[in-house]
């Protein structure tokens, strides 16, 4: 691991704890190995061979579990989206004031990215690369977070905001994280700066329709 680089939380790569299927230790070992390799080398410079070495599995074992390097990347991205959603939903309490709701949700959202270390940079930047294998998943995640923010506004006792405005805010929040990932590639983000930027974007939802 590069000096100063934050280690990836195991929770970031492991299976959804709410899944009906039992955790697969081999699958999770491959995901952890890939997360480490992607974070150190970047996605483009990584290969199945480097993942095999990091995960200490055979090629046959890898291909019994995943179809390709791209398949591993998609799985890591899906896991990250799931963790972000779960963290924000768990942080939201209908007893909170609107200010408390926003602060708790933003803190939870940023913390998941921060715990991902250098992997956050890879997932955030790779989703926008030309011909990215994450393009479709990025679009689905955008729709999901648009619905989540709308629901949080309703929980806070506000009228449902304009869907176009919410979609723009979600895109802006994603770009804040992209900028953090680009400026702090080892994962040690300026969390206060990221939070302030995201809270500024969320204030747009206070404007009357």
Residue of 88 and 158 predicted with greater confidence: 88
Q: CATH number for the domain including 68?
A: 1.10.357.10
Residue of 208 and 174 predicted with greater confidence: 174
Own/partner pairs for 40-45, CB < 8 Å, 24+ apart?
A: 40/1, 40/2, 40/5, 40/118, 42/122, 43/69, 43/73, 43/122, 43/126
pTM of the model as a whole: 0.86
Q: What is the pLDDT of residues 49-105, one digit of tens each?
A: 999 999 999 999 999 999 999 999 999 999 999 999 999 889 888 788 888 888 999
Which percentage of the chain shows pLDDT scores above 70?
Answer: 89
Nearest CA to 112 out of 143, 68, 145, 136 is that of 145
Residue of 15 and 31 predicted with greater confidence: 31
Domain-located, residue 31: yes
| pLDDT of residue 125 exceeding 80 | yes
- Across all residues in the chain, what is the average pLDDT? 86
Q: Tell me the residue range of the domain where 58 lies.
A: 10-206
CA–CA separation, 41 and 46 (whole Å) = 6
pLDDT score for 12: 55
Domain-located, residue 5: no
Domain-located, residue 139: yes
Residue 209 pLDDT level (bands cut at 50, 70, 90):
low
pLDDT score for 99: 86
| pLDDT of residue 38 exceeding 80 | yes
Is residue 152 within 8 A of residue 74, CB to CB? The reply is no
Q: Give the 3-state DSSP-derived string for the chain, with helices as H, strands as E and coil as C.
A: CCCCCCCCCHHHCCCCCCCCCCCCHHHHHHHHHHHHHHHHHCCCCCCHHHHHHHHCCCHHHHHHHCCCHHHHHHHHHHHHHHHHHHHHHHHCCCCCCHHHHHHHHHHHHHHHHHHCCHHHHHHHHHCCCCCCCCHHHHHHHHHHHHHHHHHHHHHCCCCCCCHHHHHHHHHHHHHHHHHHHHHCCCCCCCHHHHHHHHHHHHHHHHCCC
Domain-located, residue 96: yes
Domain-located, residue 4: no
Which percentage of the chain shows pLDDT scores above 90?
Answer: 58
Is residue 158 within 8 A of residue 137, CB to CB? The reply is no
Provide mean pLDDT across the span 113-122: 86
Is residue 70 within 8 A of residue 133, CB to CB? The reply is yes
Provide mean pLDDT across the span 192-198: 96
Number of domains within the chain:
1
Domain-located, residue 2: no
Residue of 78 and 20 predicted with greater confidence: 78
Provide mean pLDDT across the span 34-55: 94
pLDDT score for 14: 56
pLDDT score for 15: 47
């Amino acid at each position: 691991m590069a000096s100063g680089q934050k280690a990836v939380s195991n929770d970031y790569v492991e299976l959804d704890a709410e899944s009906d299927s039992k955790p697969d230790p081999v699958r999770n070992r491959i995901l952890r190995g890939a997360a480490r390799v992607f974070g150190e080398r970047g996605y483009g410079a990584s290969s199945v061979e480097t993942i095999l070495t990091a995960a200490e599995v055979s090629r046959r074992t890898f291909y019994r579990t995943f179809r390709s390097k791209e398949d591993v990347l998609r799985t890591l991205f899906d896991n990250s989206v799931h963790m972000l959603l779960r963290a924000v939903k768990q942080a939201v309490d209908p007893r909170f004031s609107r200010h408390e709701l926003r602060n708790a949700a933003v803190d939870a959202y940023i913390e998941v990215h921060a715990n991902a270390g250098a992997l956050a940079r890879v997932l955030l930047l790779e989703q926008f690369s030309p011909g990215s294998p994450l393009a479709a998943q990025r679009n689905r995640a955008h729709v999901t977070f648009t619905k989540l923010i709308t629901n949080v506004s309703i929980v806070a006792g506000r009228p449902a905001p304009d869907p176009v405005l919410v979609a723009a805010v979600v895109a802006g929040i994603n770009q804040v994280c992209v900028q953090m990932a680009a400026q702090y590639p080892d994962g040690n983000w300026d969390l206060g700066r990221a939070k302030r930027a995201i809270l500024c974007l969320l204030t747009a939802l206070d404007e009357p329709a």
